[in-house]
Amino acid sequence: MADADGTLAPRGPPAPPPRTARERAPRPAPPATLCILCGPTAAGKSALALALAARHRLTIVSADSRQLYRGFDIGTAKPGAADRARVPHRGIDVAEPTERWSAARWAKDAEGWIAAARASRVLVVGGTGLYLRALVSPLFEAPPMDEARRAALEAELSALPTDALRRWVAALDPVRAALGRAQLLRAAEVALLCGRRISELQREAAREQRYHARWLVVDPGRTLHAQIAARLEEMLAAGWVDEVRALEQSVPPDAPAWQACGYDTVREVARGRLSLDEARDTILSATRKYAKRQRTWFRHQLAGQRVLRVDSRDPRCDTIVEDWWGGGERE
């Protein structure tokens, strides 16, 4: 219709201004929820995970950097054939002992396993903290470093005892000071050559979260040392020494798989250079130190995350785990 002066009157409200390219872009989908059951070695993770997965017909994705390797079964506490027939597993027996498997490579493979099974039907289980971090959040990219300075620094740092190296890192990047020797060397290297802390770079990278993680940390507290000792006896009784003798026939002595906790020591037993009692003490000490580092990682790296902690010896444990899983399904 026209106004009195003959011009056309607008019909309806004015058209909105054209949207910008940023406004037209579709919003990214929120990250999928991923349930992660983790904790130190020998804490009782596998039994809880198997029971939960069997009840809900889940696929277990193993976040264990040593269960990747074929043939290294007893000393890595790898799930047996019966358990793997009962519950589908991914991330086990996917590498030759001579292969090197980075956290980034594992995370990429794990994303494929999770997509194939659907995140809502997957339970990620393990104690390799770096693998879990690489899966949930992108790993940081260190700034470029001068290779000559890096080689000179590496030679100097490598000559330091671990305790001295730890004191360096306590001053340079305190969050990393409780980790293992390889991580200590890396933390010192990045801080000294790049002027940035790895912990800061990780926090920045963590803002690009791939999954919305719900964490269940299994830890029996003071009884963990006794559980480590009991599991070691089970491994020895199951034929760990014989397994190592067989592996030595085909696996090169410098293969990465030998770095799994305890295997070098059992190799000395298999060669007749160490008694079983001496080996037992050495492995117990190394495994307890490893568990301590794992506990430190979960305490520091999961700070501020949605974490539920459970003692595998608690009579209410199964109910707690079931409620934790149910909470993820409701989201």
Over the stretch 286-308, which tens digit does the pLDDT of each residue have? 999 999 999 999 988 887 778 99
- For residues 110 and 218, membership in a common domain is answered with yes
Mean pLDDT by 10 residues, the chain (331 residues): 46 48 54 92 96 96 97 97 96 96 91 91 95 82 79 89 92 88 88 87 69 94 96 98 97 95 97 96 97 92 86 94 83 59
127, HSE (Cβ side, Cα atoms, 13 Å): 25
- For residues 220 and 280, membership in a common domain is answered with yes
Residue 108 inside a domain? The answer is yes
- For residues 195 and 111, membership in a common domain is answered with no
**CA-based torsion, 184, 209, 101, 244: positive or negative:** positive
18 secondary structure, DSSP code: P
- For residues 129 and 198, membership in a common domain is answered with no
The percentage of residues in the chain with a pLDDT greater than 70, rounded to a whole number, is: 87
Structure tokens at 117: 């099974």
> Which run of H or of E encompasses 59?
strand 59-62
Contacts of 185 (CB under 8 A, 6+ apart): 154, 157, 158, 165
Quick count: other Cβ atoms within 10 Å of Cβ 62?
Answer: 27
Structure tokens at 177: 């000071």
Determine the Cα–Cα distance for residues 47 and 51; give it in Å rounded to an integer.
6
Residue 19 inside a domain? The answer is no
Determine the Cα–Cα distance for residues 216 and 36; give it in Å rounded to an integer.
6
Contacts of 135 (CB under 8 A, 6+ apart): 34, 63, 106, 107, 110, 111, 124, 210, 211
Range of the domain at 189: 140-205
Residue 124 inside a domain? The answer is yes
Q: What are phi and psi of 248, to 5 degrees?
A: -65, -20
> Which run of H or of E encompasses 280?
helix 276-301
Q: Which of 161, 187, 205 is the last residue of a domain?
A: 205
Bridge partners (DSSP) listed for residue 78: none
- For residues 292 and 303, membership in a common domain is answered with yes
Average pLDDT over all residues of the chain? 88
Q: What is the pLDDT of residues 175-184, one digit of tens each?
A: 888 888 888 9
What pLDDT shows up at residue 316?
95
* Amino acid of residue 257: A
Residue whose pair of structure tokens reads 């305490």 in the numeric block? 299
Check: CB of residue 211 under 8 Å from CB of residue 34: yes
Determine the Cα–Cα distance for residues 327 and 331; give it in Å rounded to an integer.
7
Query: What CATH number should be reported for the domain holding residue 147?
Result: 1.10.20.140
Q: How many domains does the chain have?
A: 2
- For residues 73 and 215, membership in a common domain is answered with yes
- For residues 325 and 241, membership in a common domain is answered with yes
What pLDDT shows up at residue 208?
64
- For residues 127 and 236, membership in a common domain is answered with yes
- For residues 316 and 228, membership in a common domain is answered with yes
- For residues 224 and 293, membership in a common domain is answered with yes
- For residues 154 and 185, membership in a common domain is answered with yes
Determine the Cα–Cα distance for residues 284 and 261; give it in Å rounded to an integer.
10
Residue 1 inside a domain? The answer is no
Q: Which of 162, 182, 205 is the last residue of a domain?
A: 205
Residue 10 inside a domain? The answer is no
Q: Which of 166, 189, 205 is the last residue of a domain?
A: 205
Among 233, 315, 210, 320, CA closest to 279: 233
- For residues 70 and 218, membership in a common domain is answered with yes
Residue whose pair of structure tokens reads 């608690």 in the numeric block? 314
Determine the Cα–Cα distance for residues 182 and 146; give it in Å rounded to an integer.
20
